[in-house]
Amino acid sequence: MLFCKISCILMKEIKSKNYSIYFSSSGYTELSLFIKANNYSQIFIHLDDNTQKYCLEVFLKQIQKFNFNKILSKPGEKNKNIKSCAQLWDKLSELSGDRKSLILNLGGGVVGDMGGFIASTFKRGIDYINIPTTLLSMVDASVGGKTGIDLGVLKNQIGTFYDPKMVIVDTLYLDTLNENELISGYAEIFKHSIISSSKIFNKLISANTSIDFKNLQTIRNSIKIKNEIVLLDKKENKERKALNFGHTLGHAIESYFLKSKNRLLHGEAIAIGIVLASHISSKLFGFSSKKLNNIKSHILSIYNKVLFDKNDIDKITKLLVHDKKNSHGKINFVLIKDIGKPVYDIEVDNNLILKAFKYYSL
């Protein structure tokens, strides 16, 4: 326990191009210094109803006092839309936000994506900082400068590349997060290992159900992988596409369930997408069937199996045309030749997608 406390305090920051990602108490120290140094005219804390209830007090206890106004959104993916943004822009304007204002996004990926988007557009761009409060937003959404909102059920169709000034990762927030949300975040940790590192992949596979989802070192390793990829290719022209492994079908599945059936969490949909993309990789690139089976059994030891009928698969496949990686009318997949060896811009036949669903459902 004491060891964990000391290592959490000492965990070194990760440097991105325009900002750093700080861990635990060092993050709050840096934030206080940053606020003092920048003479902001106003500071807005952007929250949703849940992070207002569970995270605001935790945050305020960690940081030196400063004046702020709250701006609130409704929680969940269904509110990551232009209507919520219009309400937030109105609120900023009502509270006399100007170009020298700062937004602190205290929340999950929805608060971060939407708060980053309103920051990037309000008065042609104001500063923002991410303080992620879900596992998914710690290891993925808060890092990399992608902001955005959904268009109807279609994910992240409107958005910008706009970096935060800083990210603060503190696992304290995970104590109030419900178990399903925690598990949802793990899908991105697992994906990061598949596209980059046999060592981490093997460690996760062998830990199986005894994985500690709140382990700060695991979280930091995962952020490091994402950050290194973003540093190579911020605008997703090449290497960054690898981060979409599992997301082509995963996003379509997430969109489909947003509209048609009981909602699936982002990570739950991505976990299925990972199995499907791994199966297609085995057919097109000879990805090892042993590793494929390991991936499937690892995912199914953590996430409930979802049943798909023919009608579901048809509709999901139709949604693929909206994927942002597509160009010139082609649907582009990210696949893997091996662990740590992603390939991108691969066209996939519908027949292979059907076979992948069959493999997942066996």
Ligand X SMILES: NC(=O)c1ccc[n+]([C@@H]2O[C@H](COP(=O)([O-])OP(=O)(O)OC[C@H]3O[C@@H](n4cnc5c(N)ncnc54)[C@H](O)[C@@H]3O)[C@@H](O)[C@H]2O)c1
- CB-nearer residue toward ligand X: 47 or 200: 47
In whole angstroms, the minimum distance from the beta carbon of 90 to ligand X comes to 21
- CB-nearer residue toward ligand X: 99 or 259: 259
Measured from each CB, the residue nearest to ligand X is 109
Range list of H helices, the chain? 2-10, 25-38, 49-54, 56-62, 82-94, 109-121, 135-136, 179-196, 198-207, 216-232, 247-259, 266-285, 289-302, 310-319, 350-361
341 phi-psi bin (left φ>0, alpha ψ -120 to 50, beta other) = beta
In whole angstroms, the minimum distance from the beta carbon of 98 to ligand X comes to 26
Instruction: Give the footprint of ligand X on residues 174-203 (CB under 6 A).
Output: 176-177, 181, 184
Closest CA to 315 of 271, 261, 240: 261
Instruction: Give the footprint of ligand X on residues 68-87 (CB under 6 A).
Output: 75-77, 80
In whole angstroms, the minimum distance from the beta carbon of 105 to ligand X comes to 10
Closest CA to 163 of 124, 125, 192: 125
What is the strand order of the sheet 166-169 is part of?
14-15, 20-23, 166-169, 127-132, 101-107, 42-48, 69-73
- CB-nearer residue toward ligand X: 176 or 297: 176
For helices 216-232 and 179-196, give the axis angle rounded to 10 degrees: 50
172 phi-psi bin (left φ>0, alpha ψ -120 to 50, beta other) = alpha
- Contact between 48 and ligand X by CB under 6 A: the answer reads yes
> Which of 266, 291, 296, 298: binder of ligand X (CB under 6 A)?
266
- Contact between 54 and ligand X by CB under 6 A: the answer reads yes
In whole angstroms, the minimum distance from the beta carbon of 293 to ligand X comes to 27
Instruction: Give the footprint of ligand X on residues 275-334 (CB under 6 A).
Output: none
Residue type, 326: N
- CB-nearer residue toward ligand X: 13 or 48: 48
Separation between Cα atoms, residue 249 and residue 291, nearest integer Å: 20
- CB-nearer residue toward ligand X: 75 or 342: 75
- CB-nearer residue toward ligand X: 21 or 110: 110
In whole angstroms, the minimum distance from the beta carbon of 110 to ligand X comes to 3
284 phi-psi bin (left φ>0, alpha ψ -120 to 50, beta other) = alpha
Instruction: Give the footprint of ligand X on residues 97-126 (CB under 6 A).
Output: 107-111, 113
- CB-nearer residue toward ligand X: 71 or 292: 71
- Contact between 24 and ligand X by CB under 6 A: the answer reads no
> Which of 91, 146, 220, 234: binder of ligand X (CB under 6 A)?
146
Q: Please say whether the beta carbons of 319 and 353 come within 8 A.
A: no
Upper half-sphere CA count for residue 80 (Cβ side, 13 Å): 28
Q: Which residues bind ligand X (CB under 6 A)?
A: 48, 50-51, 54-55, 75-77, 80, 107-111, 113, 133-134, 136-137, 140-141, 144, 146, 155-156, 173, 176-177, 181, 184, 266
